[in-house]
Chains A and B, each alone.
Chain A
């Protein structure tokens, strides 16, 4: 990337801010910090960062309110820092427009991978790559063809729609509700069993070992994520 991306870190814990600053600067990002929601909103106005890492448990506004406020004015990528047992908070954040989440305690490698994915989606938002390749899997969105190890895989139309949605957001987590809405329509956002059955079918057709999926990953309690190609 030509210019160094600027990342705003919003967390009330100085130790976490210090860790993130050290790790991210080491990875070649510029880092600015905010310790609460209102400071974060001010910093976004002032510094125009490329991405926000946002703790959900903020003392003043609360992470959810910050997301809502940010989404009213921009599509700035947001990665949420959350804790275990707060799946509801994660899903709400994602449904409000956050791009991804990392659960505390987290590995820095995992966080950096999420940042890269989010930044790439931001810069690519307009021109999608028509071809997705990951391992032995090759998906051509233009020709609607799915190949595994060079062999054409036959998918039902809904299976293909589901896969296409995952491919379009490769590397990003998609909530159940988001997928159901996109693939089955707004009337079916609560019909989680559709999703279970189709994910199982897709895995049987695409995964070498459906019991231990390598491509279509489960985000427990939140949704699914298609692993990006190497």
Chain B
């Protein structure tokens, strides 16, 4: 082999690449006509390409194409079938939106959808047109679309910096990454400006001035370069994908990893996008990291939302989002980076004051100093509003100032004043300050920073008014008292600050501990649950009680999805909710109230998934208007849902395995039953019919002895048939759970006697010994079941032990039970079969032949004995060859009542 030196592993196509290729299969193909700016002729190019397809015989329709009144474009449109648009009334205007459902119904091979970044009018299924396109692709329909470079999510800030216009409508980069084809529609800036002057570029009236500014040669050149570069990068990716799919060893992913540190500062979105571009250039995986310190709890909801949104944006752009708890941010970031082989750290330039940095130290400086061989990229702030809208809106926390801590604080100060007045004779004026300081500390520890600062203020005034001469005025006579008051103020502020912060940390730790504890308890609970229904119930109950919301949980049933659990219990969803749940299930994305898709639904639906597959859908709803979750709640829900999803998956997998096992077992039994029935029914019938025909035809010529033999055969075989049918019936009753137990205190000797009597004929050629201990107590059993079990054991012994040998039934008392042994002097049981002989239709094979028997007798024994609360075991005799079966049954305590009967 020429390439023997390359290991096999190296040449294997990357599984990820193949998986991705497989995922693309069955989906429609997306072709994007990408332009640097409006007016370059994207729509025109798209229509030209579509016409070529039409001529090839492809079924092409127009979903939506904006001609903006251009004649050349209109001429091209005329050749196509256009799916009628949906008329939407919005704020008194009628908008014509693409009719997604009608296109899906029409099912063309290729549909033309202009302006990918378009925002749909409210009331549609999706807020964004690219989501419509996603759905078309998922349905297997090819799509041609147009897009301007400024609408690409990761380039959004760059474009804004170049043109000073921030575009609100963005399309995620993943759309470009997954497009089958990107065609750059290129026009030199001079030509484009020329076209603009000729009025060939559509410009909305209200934005005319801004647009004029936009179309400057410098801007256009930069945008053109962006478009070409983005396309080149995409070509690069395609090349890499091709190489990986075909196992060509190449230069990708050389161990670079990018980490971006997210904070509550405004520039978060820009930072994340920068990291994404950096990672793309390096072909490196990247991670967005937030270090959650005690400060987090002091943040406003906007700040928390910004962090959550940055993390979500990172996930949307293909990165990983991680939150770790921490103290000193720089230390935590560096240790995380080292632990995860990070090679580049991206963070924002601090916008804090010099004063703040002197007090707290600068994260940037610390990081740079400690980063070692990790490159640190410090990025300047990217202007306002850099973070895109949230995918799932969350509820604002009702903030409002709670007056109670302040009232209590005033009370504390009044108390301090009282103490101070009481101690006035004994203490110097300066020392009375300590009394107030104590009050301030109490306030800080009980109520946190703000009330304690309020306490400082009040204390200073009170202290001054009541104690510093001249008293009962706010003026101070002695300069030394001014100094004292000044230091009192400083000490008070610092002390209250420290105490307040300690309190915050304690609260943070406590609330985290509580949440962690609850999550831990939940996971322990999940681990102990055996059935799916219990699990679903536990899940909805936990979510409902931890988040104070109403919860429904839906699982797939075939193609649709149906409610399986709810808290408070809920069986049915209305039409809109069901549609949103179904959409969430099919697209694995949030839908409903507060989400992008179908926001009209009453509930918010979130996919429930594990790393392997989607599992189901969670629906959340609460009485208050607005989005149903707080940001904290959303984060907690994710943790709960992840645990539940894994547990649900575990149980469904176990159920699948069980089902498969049962199916296999059923199949084995079915085959065994057929074999058994055909053999065990036919053999005795053959003897009976044979003997009978013989008697009828030649009976007169036989002597008495022959006739007697034939008739005995008929009787014996008929009885055997009867036993076999009895066994089948017993087995059926056992399996159907239709055994009617009538346990009564019974005399064991009596049962043994009956069994022996019934087995008399079978054991005619054996010797039988009965050895029952004289002190046997009564046993609480069903007479007939135990008799049948014993009979089957005797039958078994008669079959396997040779004639003339001894079959022995013995019984003795053992502590609280009675043991009954049936032993024979046959060949015994192969050790490997000791357990299996109690299986249905299992028969021990001996050398070449199989004993006549049904393979049911011992299975029935075990079933009956178990039904009576006893056990049966098989073993080989230790003193000689032979099998011994032992039945153990609970004994009845010697009934004193019996004595009364004399």
Chain A residues near B (Cβ < 8 Å) = 84-85, 87-88, 105, 156, 158, 184, 188, 191-194, 196-200, 210-213, 218, 220-221
Residue in A188, A192, A210, A218 whose beta carbon sits within 8 Å of that of B754 in the complex? A218
Residues facing A in B757-811 (CB within 8 A) are 757, 770, 772, 778, 783-784, 787
CB distance from B433 to the nearest CB of A (A): 91
A84 and B770 CA atoms in complex are apart in Å by 27
Given contacts A84-B726, A84-B729, A158-B901, 19 further A-B contacts (CB under 8 A): A88-B740, A105-B718, A158-B902, A184-B901, A188-B901, A191-B901, A193-B744, A193-B745, A193-B895, A194-B898, A197-B778, A199-B747, A200-B749, A200-B750, A211-B753, A211-B756, A213-B753, A220-B754, A220-B784
A227 and B745 CA atoms in complex are apart in Å by 24
Question: Can you report 17 residue pairs joining A to B where beta carbons are below 8 Å apart?
Answer: A87-B784, A158-B901, A158-B902, A191-B901, A193-B745, A193-B892, A193-B898, A194-B898, A194-B901, A196-B746, A196-B747, A199-B747, A200-B750, A210-B749, A212-B770, A221-B742, A221-B784
Query: Is the Cβ of A105 less than 8 Å from the Cβ of B722?
Result: yes
Q: What is the total of A-B residue contacts with beta carbons within 8 Å? A: 64
If A211-B772, A212-B753, A212-B757 touch, does A196 touch B784 (CB 8 Å cutoff)?
no
Query: Is the Cβ of B901 less than 8 Å from the Cβ of A197?
Result: yes
Contacts of A211 in B (CB 8 A): 749, 752-753, 756, 770, 772
With a 10 A CB-CB cut-off, give which of A156, A158, A191 has the most chain B CB atoms: A191
Residues facing A in B721-744 (CB within 8 A) are 722, 726, 729, 733, 740, 742, 744
Contacts of B733 in A (CB 8 A): 85
Query: Is the Cβ of A196 less than 8 Å from the Cβ of B750?
Result: yes
Interface residue tally for chain B (C-beta within 8 Å)? 30
Query: Is the Cβ of A156 less than 8 Å from the Cβ of B902?
Result: yes
CB distance from B777 to the nearest CB of A (A): 11
The residue on B at minimum CB distance from A159 is B902
CB distance from A111 to the nearest CB of B (A): 15
Contacts of B898 in A (CB 8 A): 193-194, 197
Cβ of B4 < 8 Å from any Cβ of A?
no
With a 10 A CB-CB cut-off, give which of B744, B757, B772, B892 has the most chain A CB atoms: B744
Contacts of A88 in B (CB 8 A): 740
Query: Nearest 6 CB-CB pairs, A to B?
Result: A193-B745, A194-B901, A196-B747, A221-B784, A192-B744, A197-B898
Query: Is the Cβ of A218 less than 8 Å from the Cβ of B902?
Result: no
Contacts of B752 in A (CB 8 A): 211
Contacts of A221 in B (CB 8 A): 742, 783-784
A199 and B895 CA atoms in complex are apart in Å by 16
A88 and B754 CA atoms in complex are apart in Å by 19
A139 and B722 CA atoms in complex are apart in Å by 39
Contacts of A193 in B (CB 8 A): 744-745, 778, 892, 895, 897-898
A88 and B756 CA atoms in complex are apart in Å by 23
Residues facing A in B275-310 (CB within 8 A) are none
A71 and B901 CA atoms in complex are apart in Å by 33
A197 and B740 CA atoms in complex are apart in Å by 25
Chain B residues near A (Cβ < 8 Å) = 718, 722, 726, 729, 733, 740, 742, 744-747, 749-750, 752-754, 756-757, 770, 772, 778, 783-784, 787, 892, 895, 897-898, 901-902
CB distance from A88 to the nearest CB of B (A): 8
The residue on B at minimum CB distance from A212 is B753
Contacts of B744 in A (CB 8 A): 192-193
Contacts of B778 in A (CB 8 A): 193, 196-197
Contacts of B892 in A (CB 8 A): 193
CB distance from A195 to the nearest CB of B (A): 9
A191 and B744 CA atoms in complex are apart in Å by 9
Contacts of B726 in A (CB 8 A): 84
The residue on B at minimum CB distance from A88 is B740
CB distance from A225 to the nearest CB of B (A): 12
Contacts of B742 in A (CB 8 A): 87, 221
Query: Is the Cβ of A196 less than 8 Å from the Cβ of B745?
Result: yes
The residue on A at minimum CB distance from B730 is A85
If A158-B901, A158-B902, A193-B745 touch, does A218 touch B750 (CB 8 Å cutoff)?
yes
CB distance from B104 to the nearest CB of A (A): 61
A213 and B778 CA atoms in complex are apart in Å by 18
A63 and B297 CA atoms in complex are apart in Å by 83
CB distance from A53 to the nearest CB of B (A): 20
Contacts of B902 in A (CB 8 A): 156, 158
Contacts of B787 in A (CB 8 A): 220
CB distance from B202 to the nearest CB of A (A): 90
A8 and B750 CA atoms in complex are apart in Å by 35
Contacts of B784 in A (CB 8 A): 87, 220-221
A200 and B901 CA atoms in complex are apart in Å by 14
CB distance from A145 to the nearest CB of B (A): 20
A85 and B740 CA atoms in complex are apart in Å by 10
Contacts of B740 in A (CB 8 A): 88
Residue in A87, A156, A194, A199 whose beta carbon sits within 8 Å of that of B750 in the complex? A199
The residue on B at minimum CB distance from A197 is B898
With a 10 A CB-CB cut-off, give which of A87, A156, A211 has the most chain B CB atoms: A211
Contacts of B722 in A (CB 8 A): 105
If A193-B895, A197-B898 touch, does A212 touch B750 (CB 8 Å cutoff)?
no
A85 and B860 CA atoms in complex are apart in Å by 15
A218 and B754 CA atoms in complex are apart in Å by 7
The residue on A at minimum CB distance from B721 is A105
Query: Is the Cβ of A218 less than 8 Å from the Cβ of B753?
Result: yes
A57 and B127 CA atoms in complex are apart in Å by 72
Contacts of A197 in B (CB 8 A): 747, 778, 898, 901
Contacts of A84 in B (CB 8 A): 726, 729
A210 and B745 CA atoms in complex are apart in Å by 18
A188 and B901 CA atoms in complex are apart in Å by 10
CB distance from B795 to the nearest CB of A (A): 16
Contacts of A184 in B (CB 8 A): 901
A211 and B774 CA atoms in complex are apart in Å by 11
CB distance from A101 to the nearest CB of B (A): 15
CB distance from A229 to the nearest CB of B (A): 20
CB distance from A188 to the nearest CB of B (A): 8
Query: Is the Cβ of B753 less than 8 Å from the Cβ of A220?
Result: no
A197 and B901 CA atoms in complex are apart in Å by 10
A205 and B892 CA atoms in complex are apart in Å by 24
If A105-B722, A212-B753, A218-B754 touch, does A191 touch B746 (CB 8 Å cutoff)?
no
Contacts of B757 in A (CB 8 A): 212
A105 and B740 CA atoms in complex are apart in Å by 22
Contacts of A212 in B (CB 8 A): 753, 756-757, 770
A103 and B327 CA atoms in complex are apart in Å by 87
CB distance from B394 to the nearest CB of A (A): 67
The residue on A at minimum CB distance from B898 is A197
The residue on A at minimum CB distance from B752 is A211
A218 and B757 CA atoms in complex are apart in Å by 11
The residue on A at minimum CB distance from B784 is A221
With a 10 A CB-CB cut-off, give which of A88, A184, A196, A197 has the most chain B CB atoms: A196
A191 and B770 CA atoms in complex are apart in Å by 28
A85 and B746 CA atoms in complex are apart in Å by 19
If A184-B901, A193-B898, A194-B898 touch, does A200 touch B747 (CB 8 Å cutoff)?
yes
A102 and B763 CA atoms in complex are apart in Å by 24
CB distance from B847 to the nearest CB of A (A): 35
